Structure formats: C-alpha cells, structure tokens
Structure 1
C-alpha cells in the first residue's frame, strides 16, 4: 500500500515537471484575478459565431473557451471543448500531429492531470513529443503557438497587452508575412501606444497599414486605422476607410461597433447610435457595445445641458440619463468587473438622486478595483465627481481628485482631476485671498508636476494662514529634494 502510494506520487511529480515545460493556457500565467471571466466568455462565444466555417480559427477559439470553462469549474465541459478543438484542427490539416495542435494538446494534458486522468495526460504528452520531434523546434518558437498566445493575451485582459505585443513581434521575426501575427501586432500596438508620435513615425499606423496589406479582407483593421488617423486630422482618408469597411462588411458586428466608435469620436453621435444599435441586435451580450451607447447618450446629455434652459429641457435630460443608466447596467451584467462602467453608473445614480444606491455601488467598485489591483484611479475620479456635483462635499471631492492624480497623472481622468483641483483652488482664492487650504492644493499640483520651487512657495503661503502638519511635512520634503 505504501509502495503503491509512493509510485503514484512519483508519477505525479514526473508529470508535473513535464507539464510545466509546455506552451499552453495553463502555463501562460493567466491569473484568474486579472480576468473578467463572464466578459471573456461572451467575447469568445461571439467570436465562435463570427468564425463559423473557419476550422482553424474555430479550433483556436474552442481551445481558449475550454480554459475559461476550466477556470469556472466546468471541467467536463472544458474537456469537450478541447476535443472539439482537436477535431477541427485535424479536419483542417488532415493530420493529428500538426504544430497548430501544440496548445490544445497541452491544455488536454493539464486538464486530464487536474482530473487525475494520468494515463490520458501521458498520452497527450506523448503526442506533443511526436510533434516536437517532427518539427525539431521548441514550442515557444513556433509562430502558430506565438500567435495563439498573443491572441489569448489580447482577449483575456488589458493587463496582458504588452505580453501580447511581445508574442506577435517574436512571431513576425520568424515569419514576417504571417497575416495573423501582423494583425495581432497591429491591434496590440493600437491598444498600447500612448507616446506622442507624428503620423509619419507612428508604429501603430505603420503596422496597421502593413497588417491591411497582408489581410486585405479584414475590414476591422481598416476601421482601427481610421480611428488612429483622425488623431492627426486625416479625416478624408479615415472616412473613406470606414465607409469602405461598412460597404464590404455591413453586417459584421465588429466592423459596426468600431465604426460606431469612430463616428462618436468624429462627433457624429446619431450615426454612431444607429450603427451601435444595429451591432447590438447581433451581439446583445456585448458589454463593449452597451458601454459605447452609454457614451453616446452622455454626449447628447452634455449637449442638452450646454444649450441652457435646463428647466424646460429637464424631462429630455432625464430620458437621456435613463438611457445611459440602462446601457451601463447592461454592460456590467455582461462584464461584472467592468470598473469604468460601474463607476459611471454609480455617478449617474447620483445624478438621478439615488444617493444611497450610488454610494453602495461606489463602495462595491472600490472593493473590486482593490481586489484586482486595477483602475483604482478611475473609481477615485468618478467618486470625486459624485461628491462634488451630487453631494456638494468639496473636501471629499478634493481628496479623491488628489488620489486619482497621484495614481495615474497621465490618464484622461488624471488630467481632468488636475484641472478640477486647479479650478477649485483658484475660485476659493478669488473669494478669500487668505484661504490656506486653497494654496496647499496649488502646492500639491505643482509638486505632482515636479515644479518644486513653485510648490514650496504655495505651501509656505498656506502655512502663513493655517497650521497644518501635513503641509509642513510636504514643505520640508520639497526643500530637502532641491538641496
């Protein structure tokens, strides 16, 4: 009995060592806490519908879907999806030892190991050994594996975008003409490029053009390129690209949703709503589309409020606010950890004077952001807006604007926090030239921008009007930093 137990443990240990050397979802450090599983599940299921008839793409989709199901605890369903993936790959390539099966066989080995089907696990490890011997290359250097890994990182979490970029880049070094890696690299750059480039030296624009060359039928890429071109006021070329994409792929939900986003950015809100509504008919569970529609209705609300005569238009504003809330609620049903949508929804509850409901959702959103270590600056910004505009509690608003600015000064919300704080401080100083706290806010803003001498002047002025240990500490730290 003891001998049998020891043999079982040894077998398990050997398997575990071999499994950790594989290239598959189980070894790619996909942390469950980083992934909004319902959102990824919806996205993958939608992609499977779009890929209908494309056996290789479906094989990759079912392989990724299986991993999500495994994370959700549906092990048998995961196993069935993996067997579907194997069947599709074999039908497409007409062989069971093609390199495109590396990831699926790896997932099958891991899934069977977790389910204690050790004999099955060993059989898949043997299949992988046969593939490795046949291609005489490490799995980590197979372009098809790098492509599948890159797409997985792109789909599973924004935290993995940089890793996706590295995978596609390595894949292109091995096969520069690979259309999948060219498309993936273009999208990864699109989602990560934050530096200021001219149109001529933008890596994203260059790679999108390259990807379209190798994927001339991919109309989604054309819309991505159009969205980047309008940054540089290349409206004519951008609009031609979008109209061409819509003409060629008028019923493609991804073309419609991104074209809808394009027209919103361009200022054509009604056309954006029309396209997004049409896309929603095909993809009713898309948190992205619901969020984009909420965005459009927010613009309409702001336009109405800016026109004045708020009392006469109050019912219109309320109707539009109700539309915003409807779409934000739908967005978080389909993506329960969608922090931006949760924060915006809480703010709109506040605008509708549902204060306790707003507070409850804000606290839940803060907790989600802390647990995921993600987007805390966003929640801080929206909560500051809520405190300032819905509850008229300026002190709390200042605290949370500062928190947002400290956490992510270069984000749109960080920049808006900066200008909100500046506006508050300057208004208070106009009303009372001896407002020490207002000068301290300006000191904080200078400090965050690295303008230490101006910050010192503001903190000294603040301390001349009010005794405050924190201001004094900040002043001492600043003086130490410039000595």
Structure 2
C-alpha cells in the first residue's frame, strides 16, 4: 500500500465510532482485571444477547491491546452473530461499532482489503439509515460507547455519564441506557443529605420502571435507601430480588452486602456469598465481601477461641481477592491491617507500600491508604510520629473530605494527649498549627511545618 493510500485509509478509520476511537488507554486500567470481569460478564448476562454482544466487542478490544489479534477477531465474529440473532433485519445499527472494530483490527493486521470491505459496509449502513432525531449518531452507538467507557476504567465514569445522558435524550424509555446511567450514578454520587437530593435514587427508580426484571438494580436502590434509614422499602426490594433471582451471583453478592451492613444475621450473608462464589469463583469482589463478613464474625467473638479461625478466613479471602483483582486497593488495606493484627508486621508494612505504589497521587484511594496506614502505625506499629506523617499526608490531599476530616480528628487526639501532659509540647502544637494552616489555605507555611514533622518522623 502506498503512503497516500495508507493516509487516506487512516483518515477514514479515525472518523469511525468504535472502541479504537474512544480513547480508552491501556494504562488507564488494570488490563488483566478488566479481562477477567468481561469474561465473567459473559456468564452473568443470562441470555441477554445484546449485552453479550457488547461484551464480546469490549473483549475484542482488550484482546487487541494484549496483542491477541486472532482472539479479537473471534470475539468480533461472535458479536456479529449475537447482534443478528437479537435484532434480525434491523441489526444494521447494532453492527456499526463491531464493523468499525473489524476495520481497525484488520488495518493493524495489515489486511487492507478486509479493512476496506468493512469501511464499505459502514458506508452502506450510513446511506441506508438516517440518524435518529437531531443527533449525528445512532443511540445504540452512543449507548455502547457509554457501557464500554463505564466498564473500562473508573477514570472514564464522567465520560460514561455524559454518553448515557445523550443516549437517554434519544431513547428515554430504553431500559439498558436507564440501567447503565443508574449504576454509574450509584458508583459516583456523594454528599447527599436526603433521598430527595439523590440523583442516583431518582435514576434507580426510573431504571426499575424500564427494567422490571433487573434485580441487581433493585438491590442498588435498596443499598442507597438504607443509607437514609429507609429500611422498610429497602428490605422489601431485597426480598423481591432474592425471591426472583436466588441463584444470580450479582444479586447474591449485593444481598450479602446489604445484610452485613444493615444488621441482618452475618451467617446468612456468609451462606449467600458462598453460594455466589460457587457460580463465580474468580470474583475478587465476592471474596472481599466474604472477608468482611468473617471480620464481623471475628469482632462478635472478641477473645473467643474461634476469633483466630475467623481472622485466618479473613486473610485467606483477602489474599484471594487481590490475587484475582490485582489493583483492589480496599482489599489491600484490609489485608494489611489484618496482617498486623496477626502479628505479621513486616508483611503488613509491605502490603501498605504495595497499595501506595498502586494508587495515583492525590486521589481518594491514596487518601484512604494514607489514613489506614496511619492507623496501622499508631495502633499496631506503636509509632505516633509515623502515624502523624501518614495522617497528615491524607489530610493535606482533601482536608474537607470524609477521610480528611477523620485524619484531622486522629491528629488532634494525638496532639491533645501530648498537650495534656505538657501544655508547651512543641511537637503537638506544631500538629495543631498545621491543621489550622491547611484549613486556612496557607500552603507555604503549612508545607514548612509538615517538613519539620517529617524530619522528626525520619529521626524516630
């Protein structure tokens, strides 16, 4: 192929709407974890051919990123087959993304004739099908883009939200767009003072209306309502979901979470989660939920002889969780804490360091790791100076966030304890001064104070 032809072909490809043009970067996700999730999703859609077709499209892109081009082609072929089965003669719009992926994949494999063939197919679809309403693209394309972004990386949640909004403007009663929009809002919503202020609750209700058989959405609504102590409606939703989908791993895992969080017998949660694990043994999420249940059991027994058994079960399931989902920050911090409780101080410290090396700078996840690492240093490692160091790092990232406020409280307790013994303790006064400086926005002064504290930590 000549340089001019290659450039023309590349120009046509960049205009397509497909996974290859949606700017989903390999470095923005844990590609192995993402692959496992997508493969699990194939079993969880339970006959929803359009959802399985979308998943095969995403799998094809992941396989391409991993260099498995032939496997990528196989997934695209399965997507075409399922789309045709699902939509019959009206399948063209559902094939736009898949054909775009085919064209790009053949281009990367230097199969230029096949690439041109799929570009021609897309031109035929465009000539035959007029855009819906005033939009330039078909709602199925926008909806598939929304789902792809949502599944690929937490970094893309805002882009997914915008795509779901556009898809719903085009097809407001479409169940799968309502469901996707509800789930991503559930994942991202914070700082609501009442159910009436919660956009996620409103959208979850709308999603249930358009997806009356989707029991996972009912459980997400139940969990949201329980946050505001609306237990009667929440528990009714839980019972309805469990009655209709007693064997669905997605349903069981959220039922287990609800029961553990809101006072239901923890043994029942454990039983449900074990059953869910039989259906999806590679779910890091379910292993994590089981670990948290055993942690609650351990706390119930206190100094009882069974306490050690539940501690080991916690550790086992958390180790499984981070093996299956290598970037699982919350499981890492939980595991680090429990290593410390088990007397494995060195392993605990290594796990906290691993968690810190995994998260990005100045994120909510990093803040959570700093907070828990500070707690570990204070209560397990018996080092107040190191605890102050990590509490301060957490506090400085976002002083007014929940974790920032918790860190400030912990810092004040440490300072007050020292000041109760010596009202002129310069180290304790320095901690309080930093808190006030950071809250007041005087960064230069607070930075100098922090450096002084950190130098004290290094001398410890």
TM-score, scaled relative to structure 1: 0.87
Q: Distance in 2 between matches of 1:270 and 1:161?
A: 35
2:430 matched to 1:437? no
2:217 matched to 1:221? yes
> How much does 1:372 deviate?
11
2:325 matched to 1:335? yes
| 1:84 corresponds to | 78
| 1:276 corresponds to | 273
Q: Distance in 1 between matches of 2:167 and 2:246?
A: 32
Moved over 6 A (4+): 371-374, 471-474
The 3 A distance-change label for structure 1 pair 274 and 418 is farther
| 2:168 corresponds to | 172
User: For 1:342-401, what per-residue CA distance to the aligned partner results, in whole angstroms no more than 9, with x for missing partners?
Assistant: 222222222222222223333332222249978222322232222222221111111111
Q: Distance in 1 between matches of 2:247 and 2:145?
A: 29
For the residue of structure 1 that corresponds to 2:413, the secondary structure is helix
The 3 A distance-change label for structure 1 pair 31 and 446 is same
CA contact (8 A) 1:64 1:152 kept: yes
2:205 matched to 1:209? yes
For the residue of structure 2 that corresponds to 1:331, the secondary structure is helix
| 1:296 corresponds to | 293
How many pairs are equivalent?
A: 449
Give the counterpart of 2:367 among 371, 374, 377.
Answer: 377
For the residue of structure 2 that corresponds to 1:176, the secondary structure is coil
Q: Give 5+ residue unaligned stretches, structure 1.
A: 1-6, 460-467, 475-483
TM-score, scaled relative to structure 2: 0.91
Q: Give 5+ residue unaligned stretches, structure 2.
A: 454-460
> How much does 1:472 deviate?
11
Give the counterpart of 1:12 among 1, 6, 21.
Answer: 6
For the residue of structure 2 that corresponds to 1:449, the secondary structure is helix
Moved more, 84-93 or 73-82: 84-93
Q: Distance in 1 between matches of 2:163 and 2:231?
A: 32
Q: Distance in 1 between matches of 2:240 and 2:271?
A: 17
TM-align CA RMSD: 2.6
> How much does 1:84 deviate?
1.0
1:77-476 equivalences under 5 Å are: 77-95=71-89, 98-137=92-131, 141-268=137-264, 269-305=266-302, 310=303, 313=304, 315-370=305-360, 375-450=365-440, 470=449
> How much does 1:250 deviate?
0.7
The 3 A distance-change label for structure 1 pair 82 and 409 is farther
For the residue of structure 1 that corresponds to 2:178, the secondary structure is helix
CA contact (8 A) 2:56 2:76 kept: yes
Give the counterpart of 1:36 among 5, 13, 30.
Answer: 30
CA contact (8 A) 1:38 1:334 kept: no
Q: Distance in 2 between matches of 1:159 and 1:471?
A: 30
The 3 A distance-change label for structure 1 pair 472 and 125 is closer
> How much does 1:260 deviate?
1.0
